[in-house]
Structure 1
Amino acid sequence: MPVGYLVTVVLAALIAVFCLVRVRGPRLLLWFSYRLGLVFNELPFLALYGLAAATALAFVEGDIDSAAARVLAALALLPAAGFVVVARRGLRAAPVVAAALDEALGPGSATRRRPPLARILLRPVLRRRADVRRVANLAYGDDGRRNLLDVYHHRARPEGGSVLIHFHGGHYDQGRKDTQSLPLLYRLASQGWVCVSANYRLRPASSHPDHLIDAKKVIAWARAHAHEYGANPAAPVFVAGSSAGAHMAALAALTPNNLAFQPGFEEADTTVTAAVALNGWLGPYFDDDPATSPANLAHPDAPPFLIAHGDLDELVDTANTRALVTARRSTSAAPVVYAELPGGHHAFDLFHSFRFEAVIDGIEDFAAWVQADERAGRGKSDR
């Protein structure tokens, strides 16, 4: 029995199971499931490539020379089939996102696009684009590296772009600005957007409302400085976030110009045009104060939302997400696009995958609808 090949097949089988099934515990198993799943659930082709290479090498080196070894080679087809299922789930994201857009914004709101196959299959972890420049570590506050942000803009600095601000996740106690949703930031920047990704103060040194105050400071900074990188001074400002960052983005969008969260910069405009929440925790903050739950802050003038969440998210259940969708739709005429992604785990926004590319397509279509709505003079006047 070829021991090295046996280890490879067993490991591939475990990874396939972690991708296909939502694991909630025990803690150690959840840790492995989350860490392995966030890579291979989005990039199952990497596992298929590795399993195929290991099988080919075992045959070439003559290790498949016994009945047991031949049975093991046959069993390798099981995790391979599992990764095919994982890939098919990722492909299902595109029609799900399109249906969510059409339901919330009207038929024909979704644009059919071909996924970038070469990027997804061959270089999914390379997020940078040659036509985009990243300006790193600009200060927006006084709290050192936790109050730094990065700006992504087209090297040609075309004028008139819109603005997207992104907040990273990490349970409010970890994470940094240059790790999440980079495929989104680079794609929009390559199309003339000015994108901002910001650090913010973390627990336990800081707590609510410190994070939200930082979010407001970033919005104020973008309104004051984004035009220096090509944005229209009156451009729509979209706020987005992943996981805990989605909670921040939702709170910021639902508390425009709330002076309680703008100490020392009360005159700044912290309204946003729309919000995007990806795999977000959208319930109350850690102290369970109902006032920190976005669902309890929904109001008639709330801006449009796009929310995307995986139906197999092992860290954040969909219950709070659906509660926010229901609350928003019942209190405001502004649309809420909600896409529950088949087979999606937590942190699906790290790589160029079929799932996240479909979500980015949806964000582009959502943004185009919001901008057209604003230009038509509807926007807030009808909400």
Structure 2
Amino acid sequence: MPIGYLATVGVVVVGTLLALAPLRRPRPLGTLSWFLSAVVNESPFAGLSWVLAATVLACAQGDFHGPAVLAASGAVCTVVAATPVLARRALRAGAAVDRALDEGLGPGFRAAGGVGAVDGVGGTGDRPPAGRVRRLPWARILLAPLPLSRRGVRRTANLPYGPHGRRNRLDVHRGRDRSPGAPILIHLHGGGFRTGRKSFYARALLHGFARQGWVCISANYRLRPGAAFHDFVVDVKRVVVWAREHAAEHGADPACIVLAGSSAGAHLAVTAAFTAGDPAFQPGFEDEDTSVAAAIGLYGYYGRIEPGPQPSSPADHVHPGVPPLLIAHGDQDTFVPPGHARRFVADVRAVSAGPVVHVELPGAQHSFDLFHSIRFAILIDGLQAFTAWVRSPGRAAGPGAPPPT
């Protein structure tokens, strides 16, 4: 049997098995589980297609003899059997998202805020739906799992927002709907504060929200070793200031900005949202408005990232007036275990007067936002519902929301 076939199929089979039952401890094995299973876990159909294509090619070349046939058959059967299991598990995200929104915002939140759809999922815009029947974008999920295409979305790239070169650049994504007064979504990439770049993470989220009329911004920020926690947060604040100052030229509403981030970016998005107007993080622009309407964290790490006297966890900055918060995390995340997000949510709920939505996605690993997947499409629908509620005048109906003044 050719080595190339063994390597190809072996990686997919191992990834499939780790997607079904990840190794959680010790930490290095948990990280390896995440790395090897990330693609198959979110896009099992891609793994199945890859194995089938490799097997057909090997058969056509006459590479199977004796025991090799049994090995290939076992590999194919394993992936074929696991694919519907992984797909069904991903579909359970629907119930998890709905339950989390009902618990965080109240059972009547859909009537108050409406629920939208992103990229063909659910209803449209902020119109309340007739029901909760989700229309998943199956063509993209099956045929184009990598969200590379920006069909219907225009990107204006590499706009400067600060003085630090390419690390202070952002992209603006806008759909065909150019109606004025569009809400703004700012997304911050992951990468452990050492790597990563704009427009690599959560592309399906950016493109989907842009198609629904949002002005979406994906931003770089300074990274280690040349920068530290304070620098990261200052950069995020500069992005918020830039978005407000340039809202009119992009047809956006400067009063409605939602901060979102993935992994390390989630830490920064939530910290910046919790420290609006804090002069310690706004050197030279202390008087600028850096408040946001809400914050969204995807598979984030929310603990302290640096020793020293300056608090470097968003939990250190929580106060009763923090904006509405949505935290989404995978219950199978072996890189940042879900218990970390649960503790952070509990800490915020103990202090915040506003709503905190906690979505724990069944079967999701770290980096679940890199693909057009069943799970992420469902979550995007939930994020649209959450942001529709944030923008609604009826949002005070949610539990924990401050009473009208």
TM-score (norm 2): 0.86
Decide which of 276, 280, 291 is 1:271's aligned counterpart: 291
Q: 1:77 to 1:155 in 2, by over 3 A?
A: same
Q: 1:265 to 1:2 in 2, by over 3 A?
A: closer
Looking at structure 2, the residues matched to 269 and 377 of structure 1 have their Cα atoms a distance apart, in angstroms, of 27
Looking at structure 2, the residues matched to 102 and 84 of structure 1 have their Cα atoms a distance apart, in angstroms, of 28
1:120 is matched with: 141
Looking at structure 2, the residues matched to 219 and 192 of structure 1 have their Cα atoms a distance apart, in angstroms, of 19
Looking at structure 2, the residues matched to 278 and 87 of structure 1 have their Cα atoms a distance apart, in angstroms, of 21
2:76 is matched with: 76
Q: 1:5 to 1:53 in 2, by over 3 A?
A: same
* Other structure's SS at 1:166 match: strand
Q: 1:98 to 1:14 in 2, by over 3 A?
A: same
2:127 is matched with: none
The structural deviation recorded for 1:43 is 0.9
AA matched with 1:217: R
Would you say the 8 A contact 2:16–2:79 is kept in 1? yes
Residue 105 of structure 2 corresponds to residue 105 of structure 1: yes
Q: Which moved more, 1:58-67 or 1:337-346?
A: 58-67
Residue 243 of structure 2 corresponds to residue 242 of structure 1: no
Decide which of 180, 185, 197 is 1:159's aligned counterpart: 180
Decide which of 341, 354, 361 is 1:321's aligned counterpart: 341
Would you say the 8 A contact 1:51–1:80 is kept in 2? no
Looking at structure 1, the residues matched to 7 and 227 of structure 2 have their Cα atoms a distance apart, in angstroms, of 44
The structural deviation recorded for 1:17 is 1.9
Would you say the 8 A contact 1:283–1:321 is kept in 2? no
2:87 is matched with: 87
Query: Following superposition of structure 1 onto structure 2, how do residues 153-192 of structure 1 map, counting pairs within 5 Å?
Result: 153-192=174-213
Decide which of 333, 336, 353 is 2:353's aligned counterpart: 333
1:219 is matched with: 240
1:357 is matched with: 377
Looking at structure 1, the residues matched to 28 and 338 of structure 2 have their Cα atoms a distance apart, in angstroms, of 23
Would you say the 8 A contact 1:127–1:351 is kept in 2? no
Would you say the 8 A contact 1:22–1:314 is kept in 2? yes
Q: 1:42 to 1:299 in 2, by over 3 A?
A: same
Q: Which moved more, 1:282-291 or 1:12-21?
A: 282-291
The structural deviation recorded for 1:156 is 4.7
Would you say the 8 A contact 2:326–2:356 is kept in 1? yes
The structural deviation recorded for 1:66 is 4.2
Q: Larger relative CO (CA 8 A, sep 6+): 1 or 2? A: 2
Residue 182 of structure 2 corresponds to residue 195 of structure 1: no
Residue 157 of structure 2 corresponds to residue 133 of structure 1: no
1:35 is matched with: 35
Would you say the 8 A contact 2:170–2:219 is kept in 1? yes
Query: After superposition, what is the alpha-carbon deviation per residue over 1:142-191, rounded to whole angstroms, capped at 9, x for unaligned?
Result: 00001111111124522111011111111101111120111111111111
* Other structure's SS at 1:292 match: coil
* Other structure's SS at 1:360 match: helix
Residue 255 of structure 2 corresponds to residue 256 of structure 1: no
Structure 1 unaligned residues grouped into runs of 5+: none
- Count of matched residue pairs: 382
Query: What CA RMSD, in Å, does the superposition of the two structures yield over aligned residues?
Result: 2.6
The structural deviation recorded for 1:25 is 6.4
TM-score (norm 1): 0.91
Looking at structure 2, the residues matched to 152 and 121 of structure 1 have their Cα atoms a distance apart, in angstroms, of 24
Would you say the 8 A contact 2:389–2:395 is kept in 1? no
The structural deviation recorded for 1:30 is 5.5
Looking at structure 1, the residues matched to 17 and 65 of structure 2 have their Cα atoms a distance apart, in angstroms, of 28
1:299 is matched with: 319
* Other structure's SS at 1:146 match: helix
Q: Which moved more, 1:221-230 or 1:366-375?
A: 366-375
AA matched with 1:146: R
Q: 1:205 to 1:25 in 2, by over 3 A?
A: farther
Would you say the 8 A contact 1:284–1:290 is kept in 2? no
* Other structure's SS at 1:209 match: helix
Identity of aligned residues (%): 48
Q: 1:64 to 1:380 in 2, by over 3 A?
A: same
The structural deviation recorded for 1:281 is 0.5
AA matched with 2:331: D
